[in-house]
Structure 1
Amino acid sequence: RDLTARHGPVPVLHGVSLAVAPGECLAVTGRSGSGKTTLGRCLAGLHPAHDGTLLLDGAPLPRSLRTRGRAQLAAVQYVFQDPRAAFDEHRPVLDQVARTAVRLRGADRHTAHRAAVRTLERLGLAEGTARNGPAALSGGELQRAAVARALLAEPEILVCDEITSGLDPDSRATLLAHLAALRDRRSLGLVLITHDRTAADTLADRAAVLDAGRLTLPAGPTP
Structure 2
Amino acid sequence: MSLSRALHPRRSLVTTLVAVATAVLLLPLSAFPAAAAPLRPGSYFEEPAAYDDSGEFDPECPGLDLTISFRARGVASLRNVVGSGRQAFLIKDRYRFREVWTDDATGRVLFTIRGRNLVREVDVRRVAKSAVPDRFVPEDGIVGPVFEFTVDQIGGDIVRDADGKVLYWNAGRVVFKNLFDSLGDRKPGGESLRFRPVRVIGPHPLLETEPCEIAEQQLAAP
TM-score using structure 1 length = 0.24
* Greater strand content: 2
TM-score using structure 2 length = 0.24
Highest RCO, 1 vs 2 (Cα 8 Å, sep ≥ 6): 1
* Greater helix content: 1
Which protein has the larger Cα radius of gyration, Structure 1 or Structure 2? 2
